[in-house]
Amino acid sequence: MPQPTIAPRKPTQSPTLDSPLRGMTLKHVVESQQFTVPLLMELFERSRGMERVVARGGSLDYQNRIMTTLFYAPSTRTRLSFEAAMHRLGGRVLSTENAGAFSSEVEGEQLEDSIRIIGSYSDVIVVRHPEDCGARRAADVSPVPVINAGDGNGGQHPTQALLDLYTIYRQRPLDGLSVAIIGELDKGRTARSLAYLLAKFERVKMFFVSPPHLQMKADILSYLDEHGVRYELESDIDRVIGEVDVVYQTRIRPERVRDGKDLRSYAIDSTVLRRMKEDALILHPLPRTVELDKSVDADPRAMYFRQARNGLYVRMALLTMLLEQEQSAGNAWRLDTR
Amino acid sequence: MPQPTIAPRKPTQSPTLDSPLRGMTLKHVVESQQFTVPLLMELFERSRGMERVVARGGSLDYQNRIMTTLFYAPSTRTRLSFEAAMHRLGGRVLSTENAGAFSSEVEGEQLEDSIRIIGSYSDVIVVRHPEDCGARRAADVSPVPVINAGDGNGGQHPTQALLDLYTIYRQRPLDGLSVAIIGELDKGRTARSLAYLLAKFERVKMFFVSPPHLQMKADILSYLDEHGVRYELESDIDRVIGEVDVVYQTRIRPERVRDGKDLRSYAIDSTVLRRMKEDALILHPLPRTVELDKSVDADPRAMYFRQARNGLYVRMALLTMLLEQEQSAGNAWRLDTR
Amino acid sequence: MPQPTIAPRKPTQSPTLDSPLRGMTLKHVVESQQFTVPLLMELFERSRGMERVVARGGSLDYQNRIMTTLFYAPSTRTRLSFEAAMHRLGGRVLSTENAGAFSSEVEGEQLEDSIRIIGSYSDVIVVRHPEDCGARRAADVSPVPVINAGDGNGGQHPTQALLDLYTIYRQRPLDGLSVAIIGELDKGRTARSLAYLLAKFERVKMFFVSPPHLQMKADILSYLDEHGVRYELESDIDRVIGEVDVVYQTRIRPERVRDGKDLRSYAIDSTVLRRMKEDALILHPLPRTVELDKSVDADPRAMYFRQARNGLYVRMALLTMLLEQEQSAGNAWRLDTR
């Protein structure tokens, strides 16, 4: 059953005043709701700067820092995006394409031991794990910062949500947005992580558009209720598509909908395009199947390839925040040479 | 059925005056016939320079450039050769050992989307794809240069042909050569790519030596006919081995020949060695099976380990040509920060 | 049947005066017994220096050197440890996560050809091979230094033994040690490699603790007899645990012991801890299963996470020794540009 990797925090006075998971600084990135609005704004300002760094060719400041991508389930695009980010900072990368298949861990070694060991020769670990609490378990024992690159089946994928939000931020003020989140929402890691983030902003309204049996789970809805965020559950794309500022489309696997007609009725194609606002934004975390027609690619409202590029900037920015933090902590483990 | 990835171009006045696929500059490397003789000569001069760069320890000029090796089918040696080339230039590498198995692409994502995404955080993409037009499809949508590292079953492997030709060039004038190309030629990507390249030079004669049912396909033969290049189809190695300047041996899989005797009659061993010209060159793209006996390794005419080393220099040279080109195009995508 | 990768050398006057495999310098690292005490001391002094290099952030001296990890059997932790070591030296890495599955070598290419080819674009090769003589075969043909990262089922894993010994060395004089080596010793690569190394030091005594059917094989015992090293075979952990200076625990796979009680009687847990010397050291090469309880982790005598970190320093030191050697040999292959 999909669950947040830690229990939802108690409601605070205002969603914009959430305190971060571990004080104002960022130690690990486990779930999207740990980001406060000030922290998001700092991240986005840095991401903006990274666009300029990349345009100039990159940086060399991090030439002595090592990032390890520890992927127990393969994801070529997410892994390469993190690795490109570290390289554009001038850093170094240790990489596992499929540690799940290629490690004695299959014979019973625990994630915790691997993280402790890899943490003794890396400065930051990016982990993708097939279990819902994988990233949390890693963060709990790691001597260096851990970034969740997707965990579980209904877990989180916080950096995807951060780059999604950054893509909107680059085009539009975030307060007052109306957003349609479409697809297979019960298992949608990216949709779930994004809903938590959008909830931080003022006067946001979300429409969750999905066949009823695939709707957003109660944990998210409770979170939104507790924080006073407006949302509607909708099964008909036509009733919302003309009024929203952002369409966040996600994958629908054919085997999870009851019939082909149903599948097609949640797809975006040139007909649906014509009914959208002229300045709407179309986002999709990719990869796609039939729910996003190729005819949409040339439309200026299509943001999904720009999202992929923004992922580079946001991950660069996030790495700098985590590594500066680690630096100021004095790299305690490294100096312990007793 | 094996086919060139694009239709053969119309015959030009002279094979040495072919115009390159896209003007005098090199945007993508998809098939060997796109190289003109002047372009080959520029590549080979640069490769010569790379021998000196490597002897001095390498270069650091490309420290801010990223090459991605996107291999949908594994090939350890080809992949590592490209990656070593980029490292010797001082550059950075993102790597996939087996993107075919380890990506949601198996669930239906299209190559085109992956290339667009990876092209947004790389400066050049080296792609190996199991389908005949894979590299062409990638080049058609990529925002950065694409290099074909082998596609399809009867497709091309142009950089192998370039390093093969460079190996000959370092030892012998290319005009006037007589070359025996031996093996399983109908499916031989490297033999096919090399035939296209040799056809660019004056007074070349090729002998295609193979059991009749595995002979070179009609597409290549038509190309040679159209360009006025001399060739003979031969099934008996003994009739040509004593008169050629270059023996280009390729793999013969036992399951594709009718009996063991047949297999052995196309092999090169110490007996065959004795009948070759004293200054002949023996090339093989490797890996080998029984068609190239280990007793040949110590013969000074054996060039196949030198070929592997030349692959490093040619790939370094090729990367510099593509990346300079991209540089002068202003990296449009990167500066688009709207 | 487990065997050393080369025949045991004849007994010399004293175990501390063994001559190295190929003169005083280090060309390849194939098996632990090739290290003399002076060579070990040089390695350990350098490793000590590497602790300081890492504390300062790393070195850039090796920015033009390439190390290839050629793993025919996957081992994420060992591979990443070597790669981190090369990166901390400022060097570059070519990596294969599972060359066995992802190479045409499965179709019959020989290890020797791959080593020759990869040696033409790398400065050092780290090889893990499933056959007992894999590393020796690689070293025999390689144009550049080869390091054995584990070969065979009862072969060796010399760098693990080096880091094990370094971990003891950092805490204790090596002469006069008493060491219990516990576990599945007949197939234990790391236990075997460590026994060879400990035998180099004065007045060492080893207790091999194991169910009788999994005891240390005759090749090691003969080596110890020939070199006059004291050891005892023991099946009861209780009879030795209170008197040894070092407990070297290794994995016991449940399927190899006769019943669960047997398995548990070789495990280290809080009960066993209480009977150990107050200043004993507990080592384990990891990964672990039930033979090392998590309750031991917090005990100050537990050295196994420190071992992992020491692996980084020892591998950095070893790489510098091999690469300096190669440098002074003039990189002959690279300058041969005929």
Model confidence at B202: pLDDT above 80: yes
Identify from B66, B69, B77 which residue to disrupt to test chain C contact, counting C C-beta atoms within 10 A and taking the largest count.
Answer: B77
Judged on CB neighbours under 10 Å (0-12, 13-18, 19+), C4 is buried
Q: Are C246 and C177 in contact (CB under 8 A)?
A: yes
Residue B59 pLDDT class (50, 70, 90 cuts) = confident
- Chain B residues whose CB is inside 8 A of the A126 CB are none
Residue type, A34: Q
Chain A interface includes B334 (CB < 8 A): yes
Lowest model confidence (mean pLDDT) among A225-229, B256-260, C118-122: B256-260
Residue B149 pLDDT class (50, 70, 90 cuts) = very high
- Measured in degrees and rounded to the nearest 5, phi and psi for residue C259 equal -150, 170
Average pLDDT of the residues in B217-237: 96
CA B332/CA B143 separation, integer angstroms: 9
Write the residue in B94, B97, B337 that is nearest to A55 by C-beta. B337
Write the residue in A52, A76, A81 that is nearest to B121 by C-beta. A81
Q: What is the mean pLDDT of chain B?
A: 86
Model confidence at A41: pLDDT above 70: yes
Burial A21-40 (b: 16+ CB within 10 A, else e): beeeebbbbbbbbbbbbebb
Burial B179-195 (b: 16+ CB within 10 A, else e): bbbbbbbbbbbbbbbbb
pLDDT for res C181? 98
List of chain C residues with pLDDT < 50: 1-23, 104-108, 330-338
Homologous superfamily, domain A172-302: Aspartate/ornithine carbamoyltransferase (3.40.50.1370)
Q: CATH number for the C32-155+311-335 domain, one of 3.40.50.1370, 2.70.70.10, 2.40.30.10, 3.40.190.120?
A: 3.40.50.1370
Model confidence at B171: pLDDT above 90: yes
Joined tokens for residue A171: 């085009």
- Measured in degrees and rounded to the nearest 5, phi and psi for residue C203 equal 55, 30
Helix/strand/coil (H/E/C) assignment for every residue in chain A: CCCCCCCCCCCCCCHHHCCCECECCCCCECCHHHCCHHHHHHHHHHHHHHHHHHHCCCCCCCCCCEEEEEECCCCHHHHHHHHHHHHHCCCEEEEECCCCCCCHHHHCCCHHHHHHHHCCCCCEEEEEECCCCHHHHHHHHCCCCEEEEEECCCCCCHHHHHHHHHHHHCCCCCCCCEEEEECCCCCCHHHHHHHHHHCCCCCCEEEEECCHHHCCCHHHHHHHHHCCCEEEEECCHHHCCCCCCEEEECCCCHHHCCCHHHHHCCCECHHHHHHCCCCCEEECCCCCCCCECHHHCCCCCECHHHHHHHHHHHHHHHHHHHHHHHHHCCCHHHHCCC
Nearest Cα neighbor of A180 from A227, A228, A240, A239 is: A240
ipTM rounded to 2 decimals: 0.88
Judged on CB neighbours under 10 Å (0-12, 13-18, 19+), C172 is middle
CA A82/CA C105 separation, integer angstroms: 31
Judged on CB neighbours under 10 Å (0-12, 13-18, 19+), A195 is buried
Average pLDDT of the residues in A92-109: 69
- Measured in degrees and rounded to the nearest 5, phi and psi for residue A231 equal -155, 160
Model confidence at B311: pLDDT above 60: yes
CA-based nearest distance A308→chain B, Å: 6
Chain A interface includes C77 (CB < 8 A): yes
Contacts of C264 (CB under 8 A, 6+ apart): C290
Number of residues written out for chain A = 338
B198's torsion region: left (phi>0), alpha (psi -120 to 50) or beta?
alpha
pLDDT for res C4? 33
Chain B interface includes C68 (CB < 8 A): yes
pLDDT for res A223? 95
Q: Give pLDDT tens digits for A230-240.
A: 999 999 999 99
pLDDT for res B24? 52
Model confidence at B157: pLDDT above 50: yes
User: What global pTM score does this model have?
Assistant: 0.90
Chain A, chain B: beta-carbon pairs less than 8 Å apart? 83
CA atoms within 13 A of residue A91's CA, in its CB half-sphere: 23
pLDDT for res A300? 97
Contacts of A220 (CB under 8 A, 6+ apart): A192, A195, A196
Chain A interface includes B102 (CB < 8 A): yes
User: What torsion do the CA atoms of A25, A30, A34, A36 make, to the nearest 10 degrees?
Assistant: 60
Per DSSP, the three-state class of B282 is: strand
Chain C interface includes B87 (CB < 8 A): yes
Q: Are B196 and B202 in contact (CB under 8 A)?
A: no
CA B47/CA B42 separation, integer angstroms: 9
Identify from A304, A309, A316, A319 which residue to disrupt to test chain B contact, counting B C-beta atoms within 10 A and taking the largest count.
Answer: A309
Judged on CB neighbours under 10 Å (0-12, 13-18, 19+), B10 is exposed
Residue A9 pLDDT class (50, 70, 90 cuts) = very low
- Measured in degrees and rounded to the nearest 5, phi and psi for residue A62 equal -105, 30
CA-based nearest distance C82→chain B, Å: 17
CA B28/CA B22 separation, integer angstroms: 9
Joined tokens for residue C308: 């992992």
* DSSP class of C259: S
- Chain A residues whose CB is inside 8 A of the C292 CB are none
Instruction: Kindly determine whether residue A94 and residue C76, on different chains, have CB atoms separated by under 8 Å.
Output: no
Task: Find the angle CA(A73)-CA(A249)-CA(A206) to the nearest 5 degrees.
Answer: 110
CA A213/CA A185 separation, integer angstroms: 9
Instruction: Kindly determine whether residue A113 and residue C286, on different chains, have CB atoms separated by under 8 Å.
Output: yes
Task: Find the angle CA(A124)-CA(C91)-CA(C49) to the nearest 5 degrees.
Answer: 80
pLDDT for res C335? 42
- Chain C residues whose CB is inside 8 A of the B296 CB are none
- Measured in degrees and rounded to the nearest 5, phi and psi for residue A116 equal -60, -40
Instruction: Kindly determine whether residue A308 and residue B102, on different chains, have CB atoms separated by under 8 Å.
Output: no
Identify from A44, A63, A77 which residue to disrupt to test chain B contact, counting B C-beta atoms within 10 A and taking the largest count.
Answer: A77
Residue type, C19: S
Chain centre to alpha carbon of residue A62: 24
Nearest Cα neighbor of A35 from A48, A25, A45 is: A25
Joined tokens for residue B74: 């594994």
CA atoms within 13 A of residue B215's CA, in its CB half-sphere: 15
Contacts of B159 (CB under 8 A, 6+ apart): B29, B82, B147, B148, B149, B311, B314, B315, B318
CA-based nearest distance B264→chain A, Å: 39
CA A157/CA B21 separation, integer angstroms: 43
- Chain C residues whose CB is inside 8 A of the A118 CB are 77, 80
Instruction: Kindly determine whether residue C308 and residue A117, on different chains, have CB atoms separated by under 8 Å.
Output: yes
Average pLDDT of the residues in B64-78: 94
Chain B interface includes A98 (CB < 8 A): yes
CA A281/CA A178 separation, integer angstroms: 11
> In chain A, which residues fall in CATH 3.40.50.1370?
32-155+311-335, 172-302
Residue type, C70: L
- Measured in degrees and rounded to the nearest 5, phi and psi for residue B124 equal -160, 145
Nearest Cα residue in chain B from C69:
B80
User: What torsion do the CA atoms of B67, B72, B74, B75 make, to the nearest 10 degrees?
Assistant: -50
Model confidence at A19: pLDDT above 60: no
- Chain B residues whose CB is inside 8 A of the C64 CB are 57-58, 60, 88
Contacts of C262 (CB under 8 A, 6+ apart): C211
Cis peptide before B285 (omega within 30 of 0): no
Chain C interface includes B98 (CB < 8 A): yes
Average pLDDT of the residues in B226-237: 96
Per DSSP, the three-state class of C120 is: coil
Nearest Cα residue in chain B from C108:
B289
pLDDT for res C26? 86
pLDDT for res B334? 45
Residue A110 pLDDT class (50, 70, 90 cuts) = confident
Model confidence at A62: pLDDT above 50: yes
pLDDT for res B108? 44
Residue C268: strand pairing partners = C292
Residue B230: strand pairing partners = B205
pLDDT for res B122? 96
Q: Are C55 and C216 in contact (CB under 8 A)?
A: no
Joined tokens for residue A216: 């957003």
Angle between helices C158-169 and C37-55 (to 10 degrees): 80
CA-based nearest distance B126→chain C, Å: 15
- Chain A residues whose CB is inside 8 A of the B96 CB are 76, 80, 97
pLDDT for res A24? 52
Instruction: Kindly determine whether residue C312 and residue A121, on different chains, have CB atoms separated by under 8 Å.
Output: yes
Chain C interface includes B287 (CB < 8 A): yes
Q: Of chain A residues 175-234, which have a CB less than 8 A from chain B?
A: none
